[in-house]
Amino acid sequence: MSASETPKRSLRTPLGRVRNLGAAHSGTSDFWRQRITGVAMTLLMIPALVIIVMLLGRNQVYAAQTLSSIPVAVILLLFIFASAWHMKIGMQVVIEDYVHNEKLKLVSIMLNNFFSVAVALASTYAILKLSSGV
Amino acid sequence: MQVYRWTLTMALSIIHRATGIALYFGTLLLVWWLVAAASGPAAYAHVQAFAGSIIGRLIVFGYTWALMHHMLSGIRHFVWDLGYGFKANEREALTWGALIGGIALTVLIWIIAYANGGGR
């Protein structure tokens, strides 16, 4: 529809007319966050891999010591935060594309949120516990 | 769907989603590893025993590939987001790059991992 076809008396902006009409009932914020978290993980990939490779074949004492150092803990926390957010958005897109039953879709999206938050929180708790040394 | 001739780009689009879904559930391994490290030596030994087994190694190898492929395939999407690489030959080159690069990086990481004592 071109601009000339829009009703002239309406106070609603073009954005206002289409807002909430998408499958997600939200705008482009998830699209943008998906990119931010993707770029973040790409940047963090090499340090994160170095940390994991460093710990291969080592015992728990060594692992606990390494994971509790500040740079390692911060890198992993950032990576986990970005991953959890990225995967939550990604799975939501998949659900919206393939699950067409409205109730099932809402339940799936809710479970997706629970899972992603649980993954993020459990990992964060573990790292903070190691860092605090209790 | 049936009216389209399958192209490499289309197949890779599906693989991007499939690897994404695999990585989603694969994060449980990451959680298990970190929680075990925070729990103590016994719990950590369980993770190591699993990761060191044949099945465990296969899963972690698959996870490494899914991660590398998804990352490179994602970088391909960033290139497209920025408005480059839409010509047919560029699309193909980016897609082949993600496919071959994903396998190459996975093998490279595992060589480094084994050289660093991952085989223990």
Q: Per the annotation, does B70 bind a ligand?
A: yes
A73 touches B: beta carbon within 8 Å: no
What is the per-residue pLDDT for A25?
Answer: 57
Residue A106 lies in a domain: yes
Q: What is the mean pLDDT of chain A?
A: 88
What is the residue-wise DSSP string for B59-116? HHHHHHHHHHHHHHHHHHHHHHHTT---SHHHHHHHHHHHHHHHHHHHHHHHHHHIII
A47 touches B: beta carbon within 8 Å: no
**Cα-Cα-Cα-Cα dihedral sign, residues A116, A110, A30, B13:** positive
Residue A39 lies in a domain: yes
pLDDT in tens, B41-64: 999 999 999 999 999 999 999 999
- Cβ atoms B69, B15 nearer than 8 A: yes
In Å, how far is B39's CA from the nearest CA of chain A? 8
SS3 label, residue A24: coil
Architecture of the domain made up of B8-118: Up-down Bundle (1.20)
> Which of A105, A52, A86 is closest to B29 using CA atoms?
A52
pLDDT in tens, A64-111: 999 999 999 999 999 999 999 999 999 999 999 999 999 999 999 999
Q: Which two tokens stand for residue B50?
A: 């699993």
Domain boundaries, given as residue ranges, for chain B: 8-118
What is the per-residue pLDDT for A41?
Answer: 96
Q: Phi and psi of A10, rounded to 5°?
A: -70, 140
A89 touches B: beta carbon within 8 Å: no
Residue A63 lies in a domain: yes
Residue A82 lies in a domain: yes
Residue A88 lies in a domain: yes
Q: Which two tokens stand for residue B77?
A: 């999407």
With a cut of 60, say whether residue A7 has pLDDT above it: no
Average pLDDT of adjacent 10-residue blocks, chain B of 120 residues: 73 92 96 96 95 94 96 93 87 91 95 78
Burial class of A16 by CB neighbour count within 10 A (0 to 12, 13 to 18, 19+): exposed
> pTM here?
0.84
Per the listing, tokens 């990939």 go with: A45
Query: Which CATH number is A31's domain given?
Result: 1.20.1300.10
The number of distinct structural domains making up chain A is 1
- Cβ atoms A129, A100 nearer than 8 A: no
A120 touches B: beta carbon within 8 Å: no
Residue A121 lies in a domain: yes
What is the per-residue pLDDT for B27?
Answer: 96
Grade residue A1 by pLDDT with cuts at 50, 70 and 90.
very low
ipTM of this predicted structure? 0.88
In Å, how far is B96's CA from the nearest CA of chain A? 19
CA distances from A24 to A28, A92, A102, B77 (A): 10, 8, 11, 21
What is the per-residue pLDDT for A21?
Answer: 66
Do the chains contact at B120 and A57, CB–CB below 8 Å?
yes
The mean pLDDT of A31-50, rounded to a whole number, is: 94
> In chain A, which residues have their Cβ closer than 8 Å to the Cβ of B30?
80, 119, 123
